[in-house]
Amino acid sequence: MITSVVPADPPRPAQAVEAPAVRPADGVLPEERAAAAAPDALWWRDAVIYQVYVRSFQDSDGDGIGDLPGVRARLPYLKRLGVDGVWLNPFYPSPQHDHGYDVADYKGVDPMFGTLEDFDLLVEDCRKLGLRLVLDTVPNHCSAEHPWFLEALAAAPGSASRARFHFADGRGPDGGLPPNNWRAMFGGPAWSRITEPDGAPGQWYLHMFTPEQPDLNWRNPEVPVEFEKVLRFWLDRGVDGFRIDVAAGLFKHPELPDSPDPEADERTRDSVNPLAWNQPEVHEVWRSWRAICEEYTALDGRQRLLVGEASVPTPAEQAMYVRGDELHQAFFFHLLHAPWDSEHFHQVIDAAVRDITATGSTVTWVLNNHDQVRTTTRFGSPERARAAALLMLSLPGAAYLYQGEELGLPEVDDLPDEVITDPIFHRTGNRKGIRDGCRVPLPWAGARAPYGFSPEGSAPSWLPQPASFAGHTAERAVADHASPYHLYREALHLRRLLPQLGEGTLRWIETPPNVLAFTRGDGLLVATNFGTVAAPAPVTGQPLLSSGPCPAAGVLPPATTAWWILPRR
Ligand code: NOJ
């Protein structure tokens, strides 16, 4: 395979805190003292964060829905697995039309998930265990039941309350057509018409997802002010950062003109409408959020993390979001969308490392999340999923794991239509790509549903767990040293031990077709065989770690990744 070399040793980011002009009498700046007390200040650059989809993780009160006390109870499991932190999907009060991505109150906990007190206890436990806690925040849109939206519905056209959203008159003689041709990401037009308080057919409002998720108008100064309060509310409670939903959204073209190709906008789940996404003004918001985080860092030396879900077409465009004074990280989704193909993996890894590290940030790798078909199913076999995971965990930068991938969970792709809750399914009638299949509650233990997800005798879990989950419980995985759980655990352990892993250089080496291989730093070699037959390994000798059995030295079995330590030169 033709190889390329990615740049070595990316520059470190600018210091988080600006030095004041005059040093104090003892010569030590407060932030220097804080950084010395917290040597892992840049922890996020190569952290491995575990995504907890709260409603499917652990149910503590028997209603069949996971909750915050459930998360607390399982923190020791996550600690033993070896992750650096936890990202919680939204648990805020919400009518749950999009499972919490329709927030009705940004500063609370939905009773379904617990209380603010439960949340505070979770923060405390994370702190004790040395786990970082990252929350989801949803600034592009709120719930149609958010007080602001209810107020806007009751107010008149042109009022200050409506100006917090995108309300507009319709087109056509009676205003019966949407103000423009934009399509919503989850199907149908991006506009819905309201009935005015006097009962007359009224204005339209913009929603880039479902009608229950009205888009906020970020050109209205009240909106950024309110979100600053939201960030501070959770930062004051001790969180380590935020995952930002739809981070390439927020601003729309000020004139709201027609999209040049609405069919293309509808065909893909990537944000392609150039008038609705990726507007230049959004970067100012990330700069201001970064400044808020830095304020907190200046107090205690702990860096707060901003990780964006910025779905933009190219790695180069994504790099714009992680410039030194903007987000720390942005999920690199090109690997998540890659087919099981060595050339494709090679191209996206190469581009990511080149474009993202040039900004001074690190790449944020991800193979699974709550919106995607699980890798075991997507790549076609558990072996491939394991090989992809071990490959990802060897790449320079940070990585996000999605709950259950360490158990080798397959996608549940035979859920009956009547249990499906994903609004995409209901708005498009399209089974392909629906998201419930990766959100089925986790199997923890036992041979029958609810597999320890809920206490015995509870209400049925919100999505039914298949009988096959009996073979994937955490209990079994922990007891079986050949399980994916132990592979992840060893890989995470080695990431802490070996200086070659985490940040640093990646250098491709020549390989036969269908094999990818590279060295990390000085002395670690990684190879993945994407093919269906065994390939010669790039080195002789037993690997340090491999995603499946490597029975013969010098041979790399199909659908296998292995790590070797190279002899010292
Ligand atoms: C991205 C989230 O990951 C997804 O679950 C959600 O439906 C959309 N943003 C809308 O908030």
Q: Which amino acid is at 18?
A: E
Alpha carbon distance 420, 440 (integer Å) = 11
Instruction: Find out whether 310 and 331 touch, Cβ atoms under 8 Å.
Output: yes
Give nearest CA residue, ligand 1 atom 4: 371
pLDDT band at 370 (very low <50, low <70, confident <90, very high): very high
pLDDT, average across residues 440-467: 97
pLDDT, average across residues 279-283: 97
Q: How far is the CA of 372 from the centre of ligand 1 (A)?
A: 11
Task: Please tell me which residue, 30 or 533, carries the higher pLDDT value.
Answer: 533
pLDDT, average across residues 522-540: 95
Q: Look up residue 554 and give its two tokens.
A: 């010098």
Give nearest CA residue, ligand 1 atom 10: 101
Alpha carbon distance 531, 452 (integer Å) = 38
Of 344, 335, 384, 333, the residue nearest 516 (C-alpha)? 344
Measured CA to CA in angstroms, residue 169 lies from 155, 158, 174, 202 at distances of 15, 10, 10, 8
pLDDT, average across residues 106-129: 98
Of 280, 288, 304, the residue nearest 226 (C-alpha)? 288
Q: How far is the CA of 199 from the centre of ligand 1 (A)?
A: 33
Q: Pairing relation of β-strands 85-88 and 48-52?
A: parallel
Instruction: Find out whether 355 and 392 touch, Cβ atoms under 8 Å.
Output: no
Could you read off the pLDDT of 396-433 as tens digits, one per residue? 999 999 999 999 999 999 999 999 999 988 888 776 66
Q: Which 3 state secondary structure label does DSSP give 183?
A: strand
Q: Which amino acid is at 192?
A: S
Alpha carbon distance 323, 328 (integer Å) = 8
> Residue with structure tokens 């009676």?
174
Residue 427 has what pLDDT?
A: 86
pLDDT, average across residues 313-329: 91
pLDDT band at 19 (very low <50, low <70, confident <90, very high): very low
> Residue with structure tokens 């005798």?
457
Q: Look up residue 379 and give its two tokens.
A: 């790549």
> Residue with structure tokens 């193979």?
367
Q: How far is the CA of 13 from the centre of ligand 1 (A)?
A: 30
Q: What percent of the chain has pLDDT over 70?
A: 91
Q: Look up residue 40 and give its two tokens.
A: 């892992």
Q: How far is the CA of 55 from the centre of ligand 1 (A)?
A: 15
Could you read off the pLDDT of 549-563 as tens digits, one per residue? 988 889 999 999 999
pLDDT, average across residues 24-51: 66
Give nearest CA residue, ligand 1 atom 2: 245
| Cross-sheet strand order for the sheet of 191-195 | 167-168, 201-206, 191-195
Q: Look up residue 507 and give its two tokens.
A: 């250098």
DSSP-assigned states of every residue in 262-297? HHHHHH-SS---TTTS--TTHHHHHHHHHHHHHHHH
Is the pLDDT assigned to residue 492 strictly greater than 80?
Answer: yes
Q: How far is the CA of 523 from the centre of ligand 1 (A)?
A: 40
Tell me whether residue 63 is exposed, middle or buried, using C-beta atoms within 10 angstroms of its C-beta: 0 to 12, 13 to 18, 19 or more: middle
DSSP letter (8 states) at residue 141: B
Q: Which 3 state secondary structure label does DSSP give 483?
A: coil
Q: Look up residue 185 and give its two tokens.
A: 């990401």
Q: Pairing relation of β-strands 191-195 and 201-206?
A: antiparallel
Please report how the helices 68-81 and 116-129 are oriented relative to each other, as an axis angle in degrees rounded to 10: 10
> Residue with structure tokens 């901003």?
306
- How many other C-beta atoms are found inside a 10 Å radius of the C-beta of residue 455? 11
Residue 265 has what pLDDT?
A: 79
Could you read off the pLDDT of 77-96 as tens digits, one per residue? 999 999 999 999 999 999 99
pLDDT band at 24 (very low <50, low <70, confident <90, very high): very low
Atom of ligand 1 nearest to the CA of 309: 1
Out of 240-244, 258-262, 443-447, 527-531, least confident range = 258-262
Tell me whether residue 187 is exposed, middle or buried, using C-beta atoms within 10 angstroms of its C-beta: 0 to 12, 13 to 18, 19 or more: middle
Residue 522 has what pLDDT?
A: 87
Measured CA to CA in angstroms, residue 384 lies from 277, 378, 389, 445, 526 at distances of 34, 9, 8, 25, 15
Q: Look up residue 218 and give its two tokens.
A: 């970020």
Pocket test for ligand 1, best of 89, 371, 435 (most atoms within 8 A of CB): 371
pLDDT band at 270 (very low <50, low <70, confident <90, very high): low
Could you read off the pLDDT of 95-116 as tens digits, one per residue? 999 999 999 999 999 999 999 9
Is the pLDDT assigned to residue 175 strictly greater than 50?
Answer: yes
Please report how the helices 484-497 and 382-392 are oriented relative to each other, as an axis angle in degrees rounded to 10: 10
**Active-site residue identified among 215, 245, 309, 405:** 245
Atom of ligand 1 nearest to the CA of 246: 9
DSSP letter (8 states) at residue 7: P
Please report how the helices 282-300 and 222-236 are oriented relative to each other, as an axis angle in degrees rounded to 10: 30
Give nearest CA residue, ligand 1 atom 11: 101
Is the pLDDT assigned to residue 39 strictly greater than 80?
Answer: no
Residue 4 has what pLDDT?
A: 28
Q: Which 3 state secondary structure label does DSSP give 131?
A: coil
Q: How far is the CA of 357 from the centre of ligand 1 (A)?
A: 27
Task: Please tell me which residue, 238 or 540, carries the higher pLDDT value.
Answer: 238
How far apart, in Å, do the first and last CA atoms of the chain sit? 25
pLDDT band at 26 (very low <50, low <70, confident <90, very high): low
Residue 551 has what pLDDT?
A: 85
Is the pLDDT assigned to residue 449 strictly greater than 90?
Answer: yes
- How many other C-beta atoms are found inside a 10 Å radius of the C-beta of residue 461? 23
> Residue with structure tokens 């940004």?
106
Out of 35-49, 81-95, 100-114, 287-301, least confident range = 35-49
pTM for this structure? Answer: 0.92
Pocket of ligand 1 (CB under 6 A): 98, 101, 138, 209, 245-246, 309, 370-371
The answer to whether residue 295 is catalytic is yes
Of 157, 215, 153, 205, the residue nearest 180 (C-alpha)? 205
Residue 264 has what pLDDT?
A: 81
Q: Look up residue 360 and give its two tokens.
A: 């001074």
Average pLDDT over the chain reads 91
Q: How far is the CA of 99 from the centre of ligand 1 (A)?
A: 9
Give nearest CA residue, ligand 1 atom 5: 371
Atom of ligand 1 nearest to the CA of 209: 10
Atom of ligand 1 nearest to the CA of 141: 11
**Active-site residue identified among 18, 169, 295, 522:** 295
Tell me whether residue 246 is exposed, middle or buried, using C-beta atoms within 10 angstroms of its C-beta: 0 to 12, 13 to 18, 19 or more: buried
Atom of ligand 1 nearest to the CA of 101: 11
Q: Which 3 state secondary structure label does DSSP give 192?
A: strand
pLDDT band at 8 (very low <50, low <70, confident <90, very high): very low
The answer to whether residue 63 is catalytic is no
Give nearest CA residue, ligand 1 atom 3: 371
Atom of ligand 1 nearest to the CA of 435: 5
Give nearest CA residue, ligand 1 atom 8: 101
Instruction: Find out whether 110 and 94 touch, Cβ atoms under 8 Å.
Output: yes
